[in-house]
Amino acid sequence: MARYTCSFILSVPTDQLQASLVELLQDCQLDVQYYTSDYILAREFIGSVPISKLVTVEILIDKTRHNDTETRMSIVIKNEELPLQRDNHCRQIFEYVKQAIENCRYWHLIESIAG
């Protein structure tokens, strides 16, 4: 199973972050299937790639350690594909979503740590 993670610290109020993230994921051609105030689940659309390569994106917003100016969040991007090549489909989607988050106009990126 391919799995990539990244943590971010953003300068954005927590109450504005969720709606902006849902829009960002939809702009990345992902189907947002579930969301709460601190969790978002999105997937690639069925039919776009083989089933084993379908990517799932999970975003966790840390509400325990936020303040008025900074919000922490983590993303986990995974699929059932074995990561036999460094540039696999899951890695490509990870890099695409990570870049979209880092360059989004709705917030200021303070820190990004890929794991």
CATH number for the domain that contains residue 86: 3.30.530.20
Give yes or no for residue 17 having a pLDDT over 70: yes
Stated pTM of the model: 0.91
In this predicted structure, what is the pLDDT of residue 66? 60
Domain count, the chain: 1
| Domain housing 103 | 2-114
- 39-94 pLDDT tens trace: 999 999 998 889 989 999 999 999 877 677 788 999 999 999 888 888 899 999 99
Distance CA 45, CA 38 (A): 23
